[in-house]
């Protein structure tokens, strides 16, 4: 069976960072902008997107259970493409200018510095086909050394872009691109965004929350007292999530699997993952 494909419009894409976001059309189960990485683009040459391009994609999920675009093509399955920029009007053609497709440079001026600019009179060509952009640094790189040492002493893994936190009855995921999610032993699920400063002070902006009560998953106030709204990574109550912990071990077998409720309540995650896979 072929995978379900959806259409959307490129919101923005950074060649330097190698990723961007697509705004899905109506009919897609993901209603918010969906992450897209350079490696999943079906392209004839340099893998790139530009703002307002129409694309087709399938929906996958990362290790955190968060939705991402996969197998990104032009509508109908061809190479991704879009309108080319009009040629520059210059009084004299530069000897180093080969007249290539400027659309591959991206929207931002900073994109030109990623491979298409000149330095010291030498022309640096675009990244070769199939070559991926370097991944952005992990968000927790900003933490002070003493905070990083504290996390290490607690056995909290920092080798990926996600830090899994155990705090009281909650298991909280501090993920990439500022995404956060929480599963609580009181049969509560929530997701939203977070910010963390160099001292390890974490603040949350929860967007969606629900609780299993009376045999059903029900929406609850994301600003209520049942959700954590701030803490410090150095607190004694903060520790590592057990490598064998799952949603079932957290809230027991009497709680209904939330996959359908997550979709109905427009969560980005489609499954509950307490710990990132070991690589």
pLDDT, one tens digit per residue, over 62-90 is 877 888 999 999 888 888 887 544 444 55
In this prediction, residues 50-72 reach a mean pLDDT of 89
* 240 CB-near residues (< 8 Å, 6+ apart): 154, 155, 156, 157, 164, 165, 166
- Supply the mean pLDDT for the chain: 81
SS3 274: coil
200 closest CA partner among 152, 263, 271, 135: 152
Domain boundaries, the chain: 1-135, 139-264
pLDDT of residue 135: 64
Q: Choose between 130 and 181: higher pLDDT.
A: 181
In this prediction, residues 135-146 reach a mean pLDDT of 87
pLDDT of residue 97: 42
pLDDT digits (tens, 9 = 90+) for 149-171: 999 999 998 888 889 999 999 99
Cβ atoms < 10 Å from Cβ of 35: 18
Alpha helices in 129-264 (DSSP H): 145-153, 247-251, 259-264
25 closest CA partner among 63, 69, 91, 84: 69
> What confidence category does residue 107 fall into, taking pLDDT thresholds of 50, 70 and 90?
very low
Q: Choose between 120 and 132: higher pLDDT.
A: 132
In this prediction, residues 130-145 reach a mean pLDDT of 77
Look at residue 278 and tell me whether its pLDDT is greater than 80. no
* Euclidean distance between CA atoms 195 and 205, whole angstroms: 9
In this prediction, residues 108-132 reach a mean pLDDT of 45
Q: What are the structure tokens assigned to 71, written together?
A: 């197998």
Q: Choose between 89 and 226: higher pLDDT.
A: 226
Could you tell me the fold of the domain covering 1-135? OB fold (Dihydrolipoamide Acetyltransferase, E2P) (2.40.50)
């Amino acid at each position: 069976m072929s995978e379900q494909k959806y259409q959307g419009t490129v919101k923005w894409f950074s060649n330097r960072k190698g990723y961007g976001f697509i705004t899905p059309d109506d009919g897609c189960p993901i209603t918010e902008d969906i992450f897209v990485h350079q490696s999943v683009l079906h392209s004839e040459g340099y893998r790139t997107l530009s703002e307002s391009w129409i694309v087709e994609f399938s929906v996958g999920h990362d290790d955190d259970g968060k939705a991402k675009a996969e197998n990104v093509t032009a509508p109908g399955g061809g190479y991704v493409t879009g309108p080319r920029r009009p040629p520059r009007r210059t009084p004299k053609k530069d000897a180093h200018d080969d007249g290539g497709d400027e659309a591959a440079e991206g929207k931002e001026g900073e994109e030109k510095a990623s491979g298409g600019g000149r330095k010291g009179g030498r022309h640096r060509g675009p990244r070769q086909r199939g070559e991926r952009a370097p991944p952005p640094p992990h968000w927790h790189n900003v933490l002070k050394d003493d905070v990083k040492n504290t996390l290490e002493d607690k056995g909290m893994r920092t080798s990926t872009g996600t830090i899994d936190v155990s705090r009281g009855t909650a298991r909280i995921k501090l993920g990439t691109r500022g995404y956060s999610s929480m599963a609580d032993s009181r049969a509560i699920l929530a997701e939203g965004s977070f910010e963390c400063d160099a001292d390890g002070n974490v603040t949350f902006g929860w967007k969606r929350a629900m609780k299993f009560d009376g045999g059903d998953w029900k929406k609850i106030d994301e600003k209520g007292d049942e959700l954590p709204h701030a803490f410090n990574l150095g607190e004694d109550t903060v520790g590592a999530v057990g490598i064998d912990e799952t949603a079932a071990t957290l809230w027991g077998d009497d709680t209904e699997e939330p996959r359908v409720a997550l979709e109905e309540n427009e969560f980005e995650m489609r499954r509950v993952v307490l710990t990132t896979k070991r690589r």
